Chain A
Amino acid sequence: MLAAMRSWFAGHGYLEVPTPAIVASGALEPQLFTLEAGGGVLRTSPEFALKRAFASGLPRIYEIGPCFRGREHGTWHRQEFLMCEWYRAGAGLFDLMTDVESLIDHCRRALGESSPLAWTKIKVRQAFLSATGIDIATATASDLADTGEDWDTAFFRRWVEDVEPTFVAPTFLYDWPASQAALATVRTDGPMPIAERFEVFLNGYELANAFHEEGNTATIRSRWEDYNSQRAASGEPPHPIDETFLSAIGKMPRGSGIALGVDRLVAALCGWESIHRGWVGTPSV
């Protein structure tokens, strides 16, 4: 499978760039927890380093390597997993959807499956409306769930309970609420402010996440500070702001990037019931 992925990237002009596993800081998003190692932390994704490579003038790059996230254990989660991340200059989100379809069909052919998958592309607002009857453009937190939780938590509670289970077919979900932008650009010209990102669902679970990359350093710095204050509010230490990474943001070409869980892709294409079947690690670790 890895050989098939690498041959697809080589065939589409992507350069493989290995980046360090031990880094200065974990991802911005307040839901991610790092594991300490060697005076730094183990990367939650290769994003910061790959974006520096992207900013240095390499228009198509990718990396396949281990990433680490604390406090994630389950059927589809393990603290150490294999991530495939790639960046493409000049690409919009729909270009990356085409990359995903082509890459997965290529992997399926390597496994002897010649028929391409049929994908659904749907906006998050529409998927939420179909599954729950609720329009997230106008809904308040208490319209989403009567749990007294903040808007995003109530959104994800309904997402996990009612929306996500409807993605039986291979699906791209795009145009997410702006509050869940992370490193994506935000658009405000529609009925609700949206983050220009998509998630890929295969076999009913999330396989990948893509951003149309935000290139404004001040915007990213202010989001990072905001996410750190959310961490502080829940009693968690901040993720130190990586200035070397921030200084590369403004030099990146316009483009899009995506991170795909390799263990999950293998499980989906092989019909496995969890990501642990092909794993040779020690169960206690």
Chain B
Amino acid sequence: MYETSDIKNGLKVEVDGQPYIVTYFQFVKPGKGTAFTRTKLKGLLSGNTLDRTFRTGEKLAPADIEEHEMQYLYDEGDARVFMNTDTYDQINIENKVLGDDAQWLQDEMMVKVLFWRGSPINIDLPNFVELEIVYCEPGVKGNTAQGATKTAELAGGASVQVPLFVDQGETIKIDTRTGQYVERVR
């Protein structure tokens, strides 16, 4: 068990049967009262933020979380297959667990996989990926109008808004945290 003095950003704890990560904490002590630690917790399953205050002396349960560096292998329809490059163990992660992250996966990409109670619950993608445009309307030469965009379909299935001068067959850089176009890759 953790003590309130162990609380720091990044600590993973179990609250009400769910895993959370500490994203903010502050020691507070009323003048004539017992001390508390205010926290903000982010749900590792839900993504929701929870405000919790722990009294000094209260114990916090560690969340049963493990993290492994894994390589993306292939698409199996409902799930994606990853391999632990140390042990060569392979696991399937269902698309519904991956959510929007699935669309940025590329063969042999290394990702961090988060396991809770032995099951994968989340992956940590590289911040940027480079993907080919498989379809978009033809580019208009010389059109650099600020802000004007069109939809481009990418290898992997994602659609993003790109500037008008970008063409089908080109490779572009995407920020996976925002899902937005960054630049053309030559």
- Give A residues with C-beta under 8 Å from B: 29, 31, 71-77, 149, 152-153, 155-157, 159-161, 164, 176, 180, 182, 199, 206, 209, 234
Contact present for A159 and B27 (CB under 8 Å): no
User: A31-B33, A72-B35, A160-B36 known; A77 and B53 CB under 8 Å?
Assistant: no
Contact present for A157 and B31 (CB under 8 Å): no
A-facing mask of B26-43, CB < 8 A → 1, else 0? Answer: 111111111110100000
The winner among B27, B34, B57 for most chain A CB atoms within 10 A is B34
B51 an interface residue at 8 Å Cβ cutoff? Answer: yes
Contact present for B53 and A74 (CB under 8 Å): no
Name the residue of chain B whose CB is nearest to the CB of A173.
Answer: B31
Cβ contact of B34, chosen from A73, A74, A75, A153, cutoff 8 A: A153
User: A77-B27, A153-B55, A157-B53 known; A31 and B36 CB under 8 Å?
Assistant: no
Chain B hits for A156, CB < 8 A: 30, 33-34, 36
Instruction: Determine how close the nearest CB of chain A comes to the CB of B185; give it in whole angstroms.
Output: 41
Given contacts A74-B28, A156-B30, 20 further A-B contacts (CB under 8 A): A29-B32, A31-B34, A72-B27, A73-B27, A74-B29, A75-B26, A75-B27, A152-B33, A153-B33, A156-B34, A156-B36, A157-B55, A160-B28, A160-B36, A161-B51, A164-B28, A176-B32, A180-B33, A199-B31, A209-B31
Instruction: Determine how close the nearest CB of chain B comes to the CB of A141; give it in whole angstroms.
Output: 13
Contact present for A74 and B55 (CB under 8 Å): no
Chain A hits for B31, CB < 8 A: 199, 206, 209
Instruction: Determine how close the nearest CB of chain B comes to the CB of A204; give it in whole angstroms.
Output: 11
CA distance A155 to B34 in the complex (A): 10
CA distance A161 to B52 in the complex (A): 8
CA distance A71 to B56 in the complex (A): 10
CA distance A72 to B5 in the complex (A): 10
CA distance A182 to B31 in the complex (A): 10
Chain B hits for A161, CB < 8 A: 38, 51, 53
Tell me which residues from 10 to 58 in chain B have a Cβ below 8 Å from any Cβ of chain A: 26-36, 38, 51, 53, 55-57
Tell me which residues from 113 to 150 in chain B have a Cβ below 8 Å from any Cβ of chain A: none
Chain A hits for B33, CB < 8 A: 31, 152-153, 155-156, 159, 180
Instruction: Determine how close the nearest CB of chain A comes to the CB of B25; give it in whole angstroms.
Output: 9
Chain A hits for B29, CB < 8 A: 31, 72, 74, 77
The winner among B30, B31, B32, B36 for most chain A CB atoms within 10 A is B32
CA distance A234 to B33 in the complex (A): 14
CA distance A157 to B26 in the complex (A): 14
Chain A hits for B32, CB < 8 A: 29, 31, 176, 180, 182, 209
Instruction: Determine how close the nearest CB of chain B comes to the CB of A25; give it in whole angstroms.
Output: 18
CA distance A74 to B56 in the complex (A): 13
CA distance A234 to B57 in the complex (A): 10
Name the residue of chain A whose CB is nearest to the CB of B54.
Answer: A157
Chain B hits for A71, CB < 8 A: 35, 56
CA distance A182 to B30 in the complex (A): 13
Instruction: Determine how close the nearest CB of chain B comes to the CB of A71; give it in whole angstroms.
Output: 7
CA distance A72 to B33 in the complex (A): 13
Instruction: Determine how close the nearest CB of chain B comes to the CB of A60; give it in whole angstroms.
Output: 23
Instruction: Determine how close the nearest CB of chain A comes to the CB of B28; give it in whole angstroms.
Output: 5
Chain A hits for B35, CB < 8 A: 31, 71-72
Instruction: Determine how close the nearest CB of chain A comes to the CB of B53; give it in whole angstroms.
Output: 5
The winner among A75, A157, A206 for most chain B CB atoms within 10 A is A157
Instruction: Determine how close the nearest CB of chain A comes to the CB of B172; give it in whole angstroms.
Output: 40
CA distance A152 to B31 in the complex (A): 12
Contact present for A149 and B55 (CB under 8 Å): yes
CA distance A203 to B57 in the complex (A): 28
Instruction: Determine how close the nearest CB of chain A comes to the CB of B52; give it in whole angstroms.
Output: 9
Contact present for B36 and A157 (CB under 8 Å): yes
CA distance A47 to B167 in the complex (A): 77
CA distance A251 to B29 in the complex (A): 32
Chain B hits for A209, CB < 8 A: 31-32
**23 interchain pairs (CB within 8 A)?**
A71-B35, A71-B56, A72-B35, A74-B27, A74-B28, A75-B27, A76-B27, A152-B34, A153-B34, A155-B33, A156-B33, A156-B36, A157-B36, A157-B55, A160-B28, A160-B53, A161-B51, A161-B53, A164-B28, A164-B30, A199-B31, A206-B31, A209-B32
